[in-house]
Structure 1
């Protein structure tokens, strides 16, 4: 199952690369928050691959921690995008719910929606494998 998670990480990373390329093509400089999101995702991938190679469960949990923080940063990016689209802020929780609703209603670009929703697939699959590996250790 570790290799399935590796493949899921790779798919998610590919979606992220597509988003970055789009960002650059629109002439935007990469914001520190975006770089933080990318760095945490890469750290998660590298530590996950280390886990699959070594079998040391701690690397799996470090990967999980990295994507936990990285997903939070990604969510903040999605909320900011939603606020820009709407033109005003209704508060963090209201805007978070609005951003999620915008994904499901197709009001975000398809690749943004995919990247946002697939993050949950990677996250919970990683968590499940980490729990399973810990139980076996």
Structure 2
């Protein structure tokens, strides 16, 4: 099952790379901190996840989940900013997260952004689920 999450991550990485290339071409460095932090951390997920696949150790699964917990909010900040731009609002902060999710589901976001935002749940919840399963398996003393 670790390979299924890896496959989902590869799909996310492909779409994320397209978004990153578009940003590099058109954004003129806007939100560079969030964009680059998100991209680097999401690529960084591969290290502990690969170690989890190789070893079956719940430690590595949870380490990968921790990377997601740190990296995903940078992507969420970009989604909120883009949603504000689409809606013509300028208020700062992440308090507009609910509105941003609504913008994603309303179809107002570009298709690649919408896919990347929605499909991220597959990687995140898949990783968490496998970390839980690996932990239960290790606690029971059986194979993962």
Deviations 1:85-128 (A, max 9, x none): 22324565652111111111110001001111111111111110
Kept in 1: contact 2:80–2:94 (CA 8 A): no
Aligned residues: 137
CA–CA separation in structure 2 for the residues paired with 1:68 and 1:135: 21
CA–CA separation in structure 1 for the residues paired with 2:28 and 2:94: 27
CA–CA separation in structure 1 for the residues paired with 2:96 and 2:19: 21
Are 2:85 and 1:84 equivalent residues in the alignment?
yes
Q: Which residue of 2 aligns with 1:48?
A: 49
Give the TM-score normalised by structure 2: 0.87
User: Where do 5+ consecutive residues of structure 2 fail to align?
Assistant: 139-144
User: Where do 5+ consecutive residues of structure 1 fail to align?
Assistant: none
Give the TM-score normalised by structure 1: 0.91
Instruction: Using the TM superposition, give the Cα deviation of residue 131 of structure 1 relative to its aligned residue in structure 2, in angstroms.
Output: 0.3
Structure whose alpha-carbon radius of gyration is higher: 2
Instruction: Using the TM superposition, give the Cα deviation of residue 81 of structure 1 relative to its aligned residue in structure 2, in angstroms.
Output: 1.1
Kept in 1: contact 2:5–2:122 (CA 8 A): no
1:46-125 correspondence to structure 2 within 5 Å: 46-89=47-90, 92=93, 95-125=96-126
Tell me the C-alpha RMSD between the 2 structures.
Answer: 1.7
Instruction: Using the TM superposition, give the Cα deviation of residue 136 of structure 1 relative to its aligned residue in structure 2, in angstroms.
Output: 0.7
Instruction: Using the TM superposition, give the Cα deviation of residue 29 of structure 1 relative to its aligned residue in structure 2, in angstroms.
Output: 2.6
CA–CA separation in structure 2 for the residues paired with 1:6 and 1:77: 24
